[in-house]
Chain A
Amino acid sequence: MNAFAGTVDRYAQTPRRVAWAGIVVGTLAFWLALPPVQARAPWVPIVVGLLAVACGIWALTRDVGRLAWGAVAVGLIGIGLGVLATRSSTGHLGSVVTWGSLIGSTLVWATPLAYAAVGGMVNERSGVVNIGLEGMMLAGAFFGCLGADKFGSWEMGLLIAAAGGAGFALLFAFFAIHLRADQIVGGTAINFLALGVTGYFFIQVYGQNGTPGDLPRIPNVNIGGLHEHTFFGDAIGHLNIMIWASFVLLIVAHVGLFHTPLGLRLRAVGEHPRAAETVGISVYATRYVAVTISGILAALGGAYLSIGFVGSFGENMTAGRGFIALAAVIFGNWRPFGAYAAAILFGASTALSFRLAVYSDAASVLFQALPYVLTLIAVAGVIGRSIPPAAVGRPYTKQ
């Protein structure tokens, strides 16, 4: 049986690799037309793109399916975008595509999403859908400001933000887990509650003037020797502590989920709670912990936004990022690296869309819809299949 499966796997490998190669080549078609190579002749992206399409078609004939279609699509998109780029002025191209600063701002935009997405992944893995991620993020953004302002330190800001997120998470957990309320309804209620609570206290505490200008900020890490306007300098020379911390979070989440007993138990609860209970795991306790962790992480993402990146709080300043984080969880197939990668992708498209304004404002706005389109495509199962934890969204009744 096993030997048989092994042989099949080995034969199946080659066409899959070719399909992957097609995807890489298709990306290359676009890349060649961008700085620093900046090929100006339209035939360059066309030829390279066609090569990708050819890889895809070959893989299609070998039954690779989705991945092969992916290669074909990336090839065609590569041709399209590549040709567009060859026809754009080099000045515009140069100002849009500065790789170093593009990477830097991608990380900036991705980080709040990454915190919330890793949090969301943890609670979904335990079998709870947390639509309230958005509200918990917003709470983190506000309480982060409040803490930093009142205690005069950004560390306290983060602490208060985490406490605020945990508070909302516990409230949600009580309804969703103990009272077995519908998780979607409960999460939506949390979002409105957070919007109301933060809005109310914002006006009460800060009134018309908004948060003070001298708010303690989460500092950046300036790496000596990496200068501005160099690739590495722009990309990683001055990143916020929270961005570096998010890399650590990613590793911890991955190891925690897949290489510790607690992670195994968490996943068991999300897949088959009754089975988990019969080996002595408390389903309720596990879900409480998972939801609380997600609330804290979402809040940290929100706090980064307010006291790390922007430096102030504005009403509803998260503006749907919690929902995008939820999409990143799905896009990332309920895995830490996947969710993080999805957050990076969404961050990149935001970063790009701001720069595309040099071409046309309308195109830039339209471009911001890209993450959602990508999410739809991912959910429809084009890029591998996303398989949610089996018990996600279903309240558990103890016997």
Chain B
Amino acid sequence: MADTATPVLELRGITKRFPGVVANDAVDFDLRKGEVHALLGENGAGKSTLMNILYGLYRHDEGEILLHGKPLDIDSPHEAIAAGIGMVHQHFMLIPVMTVAENIVLASEPTRGNVLLDMSAAEQRVRELAERFKFRVDPRARVEDITVGQQQRVEILKALYRNADILILDEPTAVLTPQEAIELFEILKELVAHGMSVIFISHKLNEVLEIADRITVLRRGKTVATVPREGATEADLARMMVGRDVLLRVEKQPASTGETLLHVEGLRVVDDRGLEAVRDVSLEVRAGEIVAIAGVDGNGQTELIDALTGLRRPAEGRITVGGREMTHASAHQFLEEGVGHIPEDRHRRGLVLEFSLAENLVLHDYAKRPYATRGFMSPRRVLDKARRLLEQFDVRGGTPSTPASALSGGNQQKVVIAREVDRDPRVLIAAQPTRGLDVGAIEFVHRRLVEQRDAGKAVLLISLELDEVLSLADRILVIYEGRIVGEFGPSVTEEELGIAMTGGRREAVA
């Protein structure tokens, strides 16, 4: 459906340098009217940077931007918006306490008599827009009360409301459930049918092959190639991104399990609203196995993880780690007992964004030998360790003294994983460990998890990705509305899991 004649947008020789990194190195990119153009690349390849330049958030050092063949100077988001460019950021740019309509009209509000805000007109326009592109949102709902999928729709509406005809989506599916991702693709098809052009960033190769017309791959800041979807395969794309062949599935030996390290019995956990989120969950994870908890987001996974790491008190039930009673233990005691935790939200729980990478890497053990003696930290030992871990876990784009906030999303995740795995825990709780990672990094993390298993650790994996669950787990538990509703071996099909995940109703899941 793409009109191949003139590009609506062209980037020529864009270069952007950050201190110590060339994030974009003479990148060429063009977008045709009515196409979905996917941008692929490893973590830190420079995808977000390129899009931020296009949206006026960063200023490029070299190169030019052409809109409909005419050079365009984009100095701030203001100009980008005026040029018809809309962007849905990797981390959403919504104001939680305001309503959907307020968020959408912000900075170009309808008024009465040029002075007063006209909220009913705003709501009306939001409703019309949503109807035209066939999605459901309540303009009066507060953003903090709606689901992540709906928030994303609000972000898209923000762009549509400003009459964008170019839409940039930076990793839009990283936070979506498979069902929500399908809905998003429907919306994108609708937009393209209305003549919009879309730039779509994703690490999920199957999605890219499903939705994109053309695919551009970046590697270490440079354009590798632009290829049409027809004829491209996942393996090709992975090779172009990483520069070598990537195993899309981990190889592993059958598990040889030992004693039970994590034991949970009759666990009930109440969420922030006082509702029972985890209902009567019992499970055990033995040394040398990976147990996965599969489920659609919001079925009690977060509260279960919180309880298993001492971040939330269970209302009822028992937790033991290596035979020791831990039901009412603190987060600190869980750490001491050898429970490692890769949290699902790296910004809220995994990292202190203002701290350096070295500080983040010793966040649990800074007060212990060898990093501190007699209450004083030893900067040299901390730095040594940081250097070693950054190297070993292939964290790119930073030195031990770089603040965590300057890393790309995927590299931030690697820092968290490095810290937790390096502590050599007996039990490792990995929640969404590969969210936002590129294929190469996913392979790397999966290998680490299997290594942990083979070293006799008990690994509990909580994941929304069925691929990940199927390729890693020795046993799979399905959680639905806070209950474990089924247990499967590793040879179960996606279909069967999908059915169990939606409470046994016969619905396709992904």
Whether B78 lies near A259 (C-beta < 8 A) is no
Task: Given A275-B93, A390-B97, A399-B58, verify A2-B107 contact (CB < 8 Å).
Answer: no
Closest Cβ neighbor of A265 among chain B residues: B107
Residues of A within 8 A of B138 (CB): 2
B89 touches A (CB below 8 Å): yes
Task: Given A259-B116, A265-B106, A271-B97, verify A278-B77 contact (CB < 8 Å).
Answer: yes
- Beyond A268-B98, A268-B106, A278-B93, 11 extra complex contacts between A and B, CB < 8 Å: A259-B116, A264-B102, A264-B106, A264-B109, A274-B93, A276-B95, A276-B107, A277-B77, A279-B107, A280-B78, A281-B106
Interface residues of B (CB under 8 A from A): 52, 55, 57-58, 76-78, 81, 87, 89, 93-98, 102, 106-109, 111, 115-117, 138, 158
Q: How far is the CB of B116 from chain A (nearest CB, A)?
A: 5
Residues of A within 8 A of B109 (CB): 261, 264
Q: How far is the CB of A255 from chain B (nearest CB, A)?
A: 8
Closest Cβ neighbor of B104 among chain A residues: A279
Q: How far is the CB of A41 from chain B (nearest CB, A)?
A: 45
Closest Cβ neighbor of B115 among chain A residues: A260
Task: Given A260-B116, A261-B109, A280-B77, verify A399-B95 contact (CB < 8 Å).
Answer: no
Q: How far is the CB of A207 from chain B (nearest CB, A)?
A: 49
B-contact bits for A253-275, CB 8 A (1 contact / 0 none)? 00100011101110110011011
Residues of B within 8 A of A259 (CB): 116-117
Residues of B within 8 A of A268 (CB): 95, 98, 106-107
- A–B complex contacts, Cβ < 8 Å, 10 sampled: A2-B138, A259-B116, A260-B117, A275-B93, A275-B94, A275-B95, A276-B106, A277-B57, A278-B89, A279-B107
Q: How far is the CB of B91 from chain A (nearest CB, A)?
A: 9
Residues of B within 8 A of A2 (CB): 138
Whether A272 lies near B106 (C-beta < 8 A) is no
Residues of A within 8 A of B98 (CB): 264, 267-268, 271
Residues of A within 8 A of B116 (CB): 255, 259-260
How long is the Cα–Cα vector from A277 to B58 in the complex, in angstroms? 12
Residues of B within 8 A of A267 (CB): 95, 98
How long is the Cα–Cα vector from A278 to B102 in the complex, in angstroms? 15
Q: What 3 A-B pairs are tightest by C-beta distance, nearest first?
A: A280-B78, A275-B93, A261-B109
How long is the Cα–Cα vector from A255 to B117 in the complex, in angstroms? 10
Partner of B81, one of A260, A264, A280: A280
How long is the Cα–Cα vector from A263 to B96 in the complex, in angstroms? 17
Whether A278 lies near B57 (C-beta < 8 A) is yes
Whether A278 lies near B87 (C-beta < 8 A) is yes
Q: How far is the CB of B95 from chain A (nearest CB, A)?
A: 5
How long is the Cα–Cα vector from A259 to B57 in the complex, in angstroms? 29
Q: Is the interface of A mostly helix, strand, loop or mixed?
A: helix
How long is the Cα–Cα vector from A160 to B471 in the complex, in angstroms? 74
Residues of A within 8 A of B158 (CB): 279
Whether B106 lies near A279 (C-beta < 8 A) is yes
Most chain B CB within 10 A, of A2, A271, A272, is at: A272
Most chain B CB within 10 A, of A2, A259, A263, A278, is at: A278
How long is the Cα–Cα vector from A261 to B102 in the complex, in angstroms? 10
Residues of B within 8 A of A280 (CB): 76-78, 81, 107
How long is the Cα–Cα vector from A261 to B122 in the complex, in angstroms? 12
Partner of B95, one of A260, A261, A271, A387: A271
Residues of A within 8 A of B93 (CB): 272, 274-275, 278-279
Whether B97 lies near A261 (C-beta < 8 A) is no
How long is the Cα–Cα vector from A271 to B93 in the complex, in angstroms? 11
Residues of B within 8 A of A265 (CB): 106-107
Whether A399 lies near B106 (C-beta < 8 A) is no
Closest Cβ neighbor of B158 among chain A residues: A279
Whether A278 lies near B111 (C-beta < 8 A) is no
Residues of B within 8 A of A277 (CB): 57, 77
How long is the Cα–Cα vector from A60 to B227 in the complex, in angstroms? 67
How long is the Cα–Cα vector from A260 to B107 in the complex, in angstroms? 11
Most chain B CB within 10 A, of A255, A259, A277, A280, is at: A280
Task: Given A280-B78, A281-B107, verify A399-B52 contact (CB < 8 Å).
Answer: yes
Q: Which of A1-20 contact B (CB under 8 A)?
A: 2
How long is the Cα–Cα vector from A261 to B106 in the complex, in angstroms? 8
How long is the Cα–Cα vector from A263 to B81 in the complex, in angstroms? 21
Residues of A within 8 A of B117 (CB): 259-261, 263-264
How long is the Cα–Cα vector from A260 to B95 in the complex, in angstroms? 17
Most chain B CB within 10 A, of A2, A279, A387, is at: A279
Residues of A within 8 A of B78 (CB): 280
Most chain A CB within 10 A, of B97, B106, B115, is at: B106
Residues of A within 8 A of B97 (CB): 271, 387, 390
Residues of A within 8 A of B106 (CB): 264-265, 268, 276, 279, 281
Residues of B within 8 A of A276 (CB): 95, 106-107
Q: How far is the CB of B275 from chain A (nearest CB, A)?
A: 12
Q: How far is the CB of B339 from chain A (nearest CB, A)?
A: 32
Q: How far is the CB of B420 from chain A (nearest CB, A)?
A: 29
Q: How far is the CB of A370 from chain B (nearest CB, A)?
A: 32
How long is the Cα–Cα vector from A277 to B93 in the complex, in angstroms? 9
How long is the Cα–Cα vector from A185 to B247 in the complex, in angstroms? 55
Q: How far is the CB of A108 from chain B (nearest CB, A)?
A: 33
Residues of B within 8 A of A278 (CB): 55, 57, 77, 87, 89, 93
How long is the Cα–Cα vector from A133 to B76 in the complex, in angstroms? 33
How long is the Cα–Cα vector from A279 to B108 in the complex, in angstroms? 9
Q: How far is the CB of A250 from chain B (nearest CB, A)?
A: 17
Q: How far is the CB of A284 from chain B (nearest CB, A)?
A: 12
Residues of A within 8 A of B81 (CB): 279-280
How long is the Cα–Cα vector from A229 to B78 in the complex, in angstroms? 61
Residues of B within 8 A of A260 (CB): 111, 115-117
How long is the Cα–Cα vector from A276 to B97 in the complex, in angstroms? 14
Most chain A CB within 10 A, of B52, B107, B116, is at: B107
Closest Cβ neighbor of B111 among chain A residues: A261
Residues of B within 8 A of A281 (CB): 106-107
Residues of A within 8 A of B89 (CB): 278
How long is the Cα–Cα vector from A263 to B117 in the complex, in angstroms? 9
Whether B107 lies near A272 (C-beta < 8 A) is no
How long is the Cα–Cα vector from A255 to B77 in the complex, in angstroms? 28
How long is the Cα–Cα vector from A275 to B58 in the complex, in angstroms? 15
Closest Cβ neighbor of B80 among chain A residues: A280
Closest Cβ neighbor of B93 among chain A residues: A275
Q: How far is the CB of A64 from chain B (nearest CB, A)?
A: 14
Q: Which of A211-262 contact B (CB under 8 A)?
A: 255, 259-261
How long is the Cα–Cα vector from A280 to B95 in the complex, in angstroms? 15
Q: How far is the CB of A261 from chain B (nearest CB, A)?
A: 4
How long is the Cα–Cα vector from A273 to B497 in the complex, in angstroms? 42
Residues of B within 8 A of A272 (CB): 93-96
How long is the Cα–Cα vector from A222 to B423 in the complex, in angstroms? 77
Residues of A within 8 A of B107 (CB): 261, 265, 268, 276, 279-281
How long is the Cα–Cα vector from A268 to B106 in the complex, in angstroms? 8
Q: How far is the CB of A73 from chain B (nearest CB, A)?
A: 24
Closest Cβ neighbor of A389 among chain B residues: B97
